Amino acid sequence: DGGITQSPKYLFRKEGQNVTLSCEQNLNHDAMYWYRQDPGQGLRLIYYSQIVNDFQKGDIAEGYSVSREKKESFPLTVTSAQKNPTAFYLCASSPGTHEQYFGPGTRLTVT
Amino acid sequence: SQQGEEDPQALSIQEGENATMNCSYKTSINNLQWYRQNSGRGLVHLILIRSNEREKHSGRLRVTLDTSKKSSSLLITASRAADTASYFCATDVSSGSARQLTFGSGTQLTVLP
């Protein structure tokens, strides 16, 4: 999992509540990413950021929001507008070369 | 959009046997990468092969790339129980400085002791 931390490992929320997932890296990487993984599926890109104070929507950005105020941090907010938020969320960073380094993930359950 | 599709979806072999997983994709790529994911964990980068390369080795891993067929294969030789995991291919079709990967749905490999 390298120098990327995600907290908490498990998160439970009631439907209708916003929730923020933390992602911190000490690898001095410029680019950071958020993915969603559903059971038995691959990863789908939610948002990504190449530099501080800049971020772009991925394939499934609806119902999510992000911020990138510091190079080390890229928090993801799952809003009440996300229709099916229960999933495994993975954060990654990249030094600008091609490979990505992943955090351990946060499993979000919304009931 | 799912650019890469792995085949098979699941593979079960005995320890010591070789495991081969395949990945097909749809559009031209800059490179193709393979990642491993243990259950409930993050992904770990295994190997990257560029579009102008045909084969690459890393330890017990061998990756091939056929751009004319838009396909890649990952071979794990002399498998071990610890190789049990899901394996994903990811294609890099980025342009400019915005690097993005598109992941396939993965192959679940089980190596029986």
Cβ separation A31–B41 shorter than 8 A = no
User: CA-CA distance, B90 to B55, in Å (whole number)?
Assistant: 16
The total number of residues written for chain A in this structure? 111
Q: How confident is the model at residue A41 (pLDDT cuts 50, 70, 90)?
A: confident
Cβ separation A43–B4 shorter than 8 A = no
CB B24 within 8 A of CB B5: yes
Chain B nearest-CA residue for A50: B98
pLDDT tens digits, B23-67: 999 999 999 999 999 999 999 999 999 999 999 999 999 999 999
In the prediction, which pLDDT does A98 show? Answer: 78
User: CA-CA distance, B60 to A36, in Å (whole number)?
Assistant: 30
In the prediction, which pLDDT does B3 show? Answer: 64
Q: How confident is the model at residue B96 (pLDDT cuts 50, 70, 90)?
A: low
Residue B75 CA: distances (Å) to CA of A29, A78, B15:
31, 38, 14
User: CA-CA distance, B26 to B3, in Å (whole number)?
Assistant: 6
Mean pLDDT of B73-80: 98
Q: Which two tokens stand for residue B60?
A: 């017990």
Mean pLDDT of A29-52: 94
> Of B33, B41, B99, which is closest to A104 when you measure between CB atoms?
B41
Lowest pLDDT segment from A50-54, A97-101, B86-90 = A97-101
What are B112's strand-pairing partners?
A: B14
Residues of B in contact with A40 (CB under 8 A): 105-106
Q: Which two tokens stand for residue B63?
A: 């990756």
Q: Which two tokens stand for residue A29?
A: 């990487």
* Shortest CA gap A79–chain B (Å): 22
In the prediction, which pLDDT does B99 show? Answer: 76
**pLDDT higher than 70, residue B100:** yes
Q: How confident is the model at residue B98 (pLDDT cuts 50, 70, 90)?
A: low
In the prediction, which pLDDT does A67 show? Answer: 97
* Residue keyed to tokens 């838009």: B70
Mean pLDDT of A101-111: 96
In the prediction, which pLDDT does B1 show? Answer: 45
Cβ separation B98–A96 shorter than 8 A = no
Cβ separation A50–B97 shorter than 8 A = yes
Percent of chain B past pLDDT 70, that is, above it, reads 95
Cβ separation A90–B43 shorter than 8 A = yes
Q: How confident is the model at residue B106 (pLDDT cuts 50, 70, 90)?
A: very high
User: CA-CA distance, B2 to B7, in Å (whole number)?
Assistant: 14
